Structure 1
Amino acid sequence: MTAGDPKPVPRSPEAVAEGLDDEMIRQVVHHFYAAAREDPVIGPVFRAHVPDDRWQAHLDKITDFWSSSLLGTRRYDGRPMPKHLAISELNDDHFRRWLALFRHTVTQLCPPKTAQLFIERSERIAEAFRINIGMARGEDLMFRPKLTREPYP
């Protein structure tokens, strides 16, 4: 690695060595989504598309998603893209805010390498969703810049 190379992203075994397990993932998901639901930018989207009576099921599904993604548990079997494609108001402001709040949450709750792993994975997921949503909407993606990082207040 040279001086100009980005920091390597930790692998799951490094995060597991720091304590990453299903309980940590559950804590991250529950803390993040409690804050997200009250957030002035992304909260209205969550409240409009995930009613109260489906909120716990949503948390369980997202916990399974992160467990599958970071620990390889294979518990997640959903298809998140169609649900996100159906949210017509979803835009880059929502993605930036989601990522800022997520970075804040994992930085507060997780050891450094684990937080870095969550952050890297969330940023890749957000970019993939943006590209798929943009393609579905017929947007020109050729020169679309990556999301900029928004600070969390």
Structure 2
Amino acid sequence: MPTKSTAVPKSEEAVAEGLDEAMIRLVVHAFYAEAREDPVIGPVFRAHVADERWQGHLEKIVAFWCSSLLGTRTYDGRPMPKHLAIPELTDDHFRRWLALFRHTVNNLCPPKTAGLMIARSERIAEAFRINIAMHRGEDLTFRPPLTREPYP
């Protein structure tokens, strides 16, 4: 996550340097091509999203990110229940997802866009892991935030 002295770029700043649906589509497709083959998170994706549904799933993810970053309101799904239903999800999966995502956006996006997408992905990952832990009845009292894993 950004440090206190580093401000997270705003969507308007990212749009000014080129963030649009085409860039989001490029990031999503590049990231998930790598993620689906990753030895840590790939098996989870393959187990829960069948090959014949994969392209449709990618389109939902593009719509999610467009809604989140561009305010398009094209996403109408509910991702939390789907993730709550994956019993094997652990912090290791979230750390790897974030490492791969950071690597992808840093390679494909201008700096402010990458910063915005990384900050948003880290907030999403934290929200998901906390909701999953609560759903599982885990004690959250002393749960530290995720640590960053380096790119493999």
TM-score under structure 1 normalisation?
0.97
Residue 140 of structure 1, CA deviation: 0.3
- d(CA) in 1 for partners of 2:4, 2:51: 45
Which digits, 9 at most, give the CA deviation of each residue in 1:32-51, with x for residues without a partner?
Answer: 00000000000000000000
Percent sequence identity is: 79
Residue 95 of structure 1, CA deviation: 0.2
- Cα RMSD of the aligned pairs, angstroms, is 0.8
SS at match of 1:5: coil
- d(CA) in 1 for partners of 2:94, 2:5: 23
2:99 pairs with 1:94? no
Match of 1:25 in 2: 24
- d(CA) in 1 for partners of 2:66, 2:36: 21
- d(CA) in 1 for partners of 2:104, 2:26: 10
1:3-152 matches, within 5 Å, as: 5-152=4-151
- d(CA) in 2 for partners of 1:5, 1:127: 18
- d(CA) in 2 for partners of 1:17, 1:80: 29
Amino acid at match of 1:109: L
SS at match of 2:68: helix
- d(CA) in 2 for partners of 1:26, 1:6: 31
SS at match of 2:143: coil
Which digits, 9 at most, give the CA deviation of each residue in 1:81-106, with x for residues without a partner?
Answer: 01000000000000000000000000
SS at match of 1:146: coil
**Ranges in structure 1 where 5+ consecutive residues have no aligned partner:** none
Which digits, 9 at most, give the CA deviation of each residue in 1:122-151, with x for residues without a partner?
Answer: 000000001100000000001100000000
The aligned length equals: 150
* Large movers: runs of 4+ above 4 Å: none
- d(CA) in 1 for partners of 2:14, 2:87: 36
Residue 6 of structure 1, CA deviation: 2.6
